[in-house]
């Protein structure tokens, strides 16, 4: 089996590499994994993508790459669409024609954030900015390609507020907390922080069984975020509190993180006010596979799907404690 991972230098790409490095030596049939970054393949170059796919002939394509500069996308629309819409369509066409599996990652930004409650996979897309629009077009392109007839399968995994090995909101908050005594953080935008490590594990739960064999799953869109919900202010408060409890020396304290409204912090690109997404669909599929395997847990996952996804707070605390222990705060 051959697995091609796009986005090796991003948080999710690094999470996949760490996970494969851990898992592959334990498998009887060890797959060949190739990791691709910008230097190996420019995703704004359609010909380069096609050439790589036809040269490597992957059985599984993991597209963990994306143009994610939300504000910059407003002035770099052509590049955003090339990476977020055209590149995934090329990958989808290869997978559909060659019987391969495509894992593609999308975002809460495909919604306008006006819904009350949790978004479902079938809710109408209505992105507000160029970034969200480019990701929505990418979703539509993949779906269209596979609807025209396919020997392969695909999953579009929508997620939000990702953090891992790289730059992210949590690390920014910790850096600012060392420099400033007071922080002002938005309190009226809701979502779910998502660990890149957890997201990679759940992705493999969908695609492989416990023996590492590729399995068939219902193609479509899935929401993939942990349980619970919070705001940027709620996340920042927990991050600072956890870091202080773990021994980090910070100027800011949980009590000095002040809540503000989004209108008080204007940005070039609009953000959805509500990014909460229901994960019932993904949990249902994973629970079914777990039951078929006759196990209470999957070797790719520390949590049993039947018990529900873990809460976001658990993983954020673990992440922050590790940053402190590794002297990265």
Q: In whole numbers, what is the pLDDT of the chain averaged over residues?
A: 92
**What is the average pLDDT across 308-322?**
95
**Is 131 among the residues known to form the active site?**
yes
**pLDDT score recorded for residue 292:** 62
The helix/strand/coil state of 80 is helix
**What is the average pLDDT across 254-260?**
96
Confidence at 308, pLDDT banded by 50, 70, 90: confident
pLDDT for 74-117, tens place per residue?
A: 999 999 999 999 999 999 999 999 999 999 999 999 999 999 99
Indicate if the pLDDT at residue 305 is higher than 90: no
Share of the chain above pLDDT 90, in %: 88
Confidence at 301, pLDDT banded by 50, 70, 90: very low
**pLDDT score recorded for residue 306:** 36
Indicate if the pLDDT at residue 316 is higher than 90: yes
Residue 85: partners with Cβ closer than 8 Å, 6 or more residues away: 134, 135, 137, 138, 141
**What is the average pLDDT across 254-271?**
94
More confident residue, 294 or 309: 309
CB-CB neighbours of 53 under 10 Å: 21
**pLDDT score recorded for residue 29:** 86
**pLDDT score recorded for residue 295:** 43
pLDDT for 173-222, tens place per residue?
A: 999 999 999 999 999 999 999 999 999 999 999 999 888 889 999 999 99
Q: Enter the tokens of residue 12.
A: 């999710």
Instruction: Measure the CA–CA gap between 265 and 118, rounded to whole angstroms.
Output: 25
Instruction: Measure the CA–CA gap between 69 and 65, rounded to whole angstroms.
Output: 12
Give the active site residue among 81, 94, 105, 131: 131
Residue by residue, DSSP assigns 139-176 as HHHHHHHHHT--SSEEEEEEE-SEESSS--HHHHHHHH
**pLDDT score recorded for residue 302:** 38
Whose structure tokens read 């997620």? 159
CATH architecture, domain 2-166+193-228+276-310: 3-Layer(aba) Sandwich (3.40)
pLDDT for 230-251, tens place per residue?
A: 999 999 999 999 999 999 999 9
Torsion over CA: 165, 287, 150, 108 (sign): negative
Instruction: Measure the CA–CA gap between 68 and 302, rounded to whole angstroms.
Output: 29
Residue by residue, DSSP assigns 183-225 as EEEE-S-EE--EEHHHHHHHHHHHHB-TTS-B-----EEEE--
Torsion over CA: 109, 45, 36, 215 (sign): positive
φ, ψ (nearest 5 deg) of residue 306 = -60, -30
**pLDDT score recorded for residue 80:** 97
**pLDDT score recorded for residue 293:** 56
The domains of the chain are located at 2-166+193-228+276-310
Largest CA distance in the chain: 58
**pTM above threshold 0.85:** yes
Say which DSSP state 70 is in.
T
Instruction: Measure the CA–CA gap between 8 and 190, rounded to whole angstroms.
Output: 29
**pLDDT score recorded for residue 224:** 97
**Nearest partner of 32 among 221, 220, 225, 212, judged by Cα:** 212
pLDDT for 275-289, tens place per residue?
A: 999 999 999 999 888
**Is residue 223 within 8 Å of 281, Cβ to Cβ?**
yes
pLDDT for 20-65, tens place per residue?
A: 999 999 888 899 999 999 989 999 999 999 999 999 999 999 999 9
C-alpha of 256 from chain center: 30
């Amino acid at each position: 089996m051959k697995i091609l991972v796009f986005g090796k230098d991003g948080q999710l790409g690094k999470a996949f590499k760490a996970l494969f490095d851990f898992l592959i030596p334990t498998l009887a049939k060890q797959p060949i994994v190739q990791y691709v970054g910008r230097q190996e393949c420019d995703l704004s170059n359609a010909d380069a993508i096609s050439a790589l796919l036809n040269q490597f002939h992957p059985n599984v394509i993991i597209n963990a790459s994306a143009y994610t500069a939300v504000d910059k996308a407003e002035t770099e629309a052509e590049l955003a669409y090339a990476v977020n819409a055209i590149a995934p369509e090329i990958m989808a066409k290869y997978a559909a024609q060659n019987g391969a599996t495509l894992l593609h990652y999308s975002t809460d930004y495909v919604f306008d954030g006006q819904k009350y409650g949790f978004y479902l996979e079938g809710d109408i897309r209505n992105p507000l900015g160029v970034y969200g629009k480019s990701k929505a077009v990418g979703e539509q392109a993949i779906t269209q390609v596979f609807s025209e007839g396919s020997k392969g399968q695909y999953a579009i995994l929508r997620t939000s507020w990702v953090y891992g090995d790289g730059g992210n909101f949590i690390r920014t908050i910790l850096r600012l907390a060392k420099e400033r005594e007071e922080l002002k953080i938005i309190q009226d935008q809701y979502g779910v922080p998502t660990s890149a490590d957890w997201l990679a594990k759940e992705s493999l739960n969908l695609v492989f069984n416990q023996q590492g064999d590729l399995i068939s799953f219902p193609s479509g869109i899935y929401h993939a975020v942990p349980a619970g919900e919070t705001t940027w202010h709620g996340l920042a408060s927990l991050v600072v509190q956890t870091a202080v409890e773990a021994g980090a020396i910070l100027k800011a304290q949980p009590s000095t993180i002040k809540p503000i409204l989004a209108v008080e912090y204007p940005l070039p690109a609009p953000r959805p006010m509500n990014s909460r997404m229901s994960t019932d669909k993904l949990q249902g599929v994973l629970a079914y596979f777990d039951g078929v395997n006759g196990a209470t847990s999957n070797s790719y996952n520390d949590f049993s799907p039947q018990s529900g996804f873990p809460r976001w707070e658990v993983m954020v605390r673990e992440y922050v404690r590790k940053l402190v222990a590794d002297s990265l705060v």
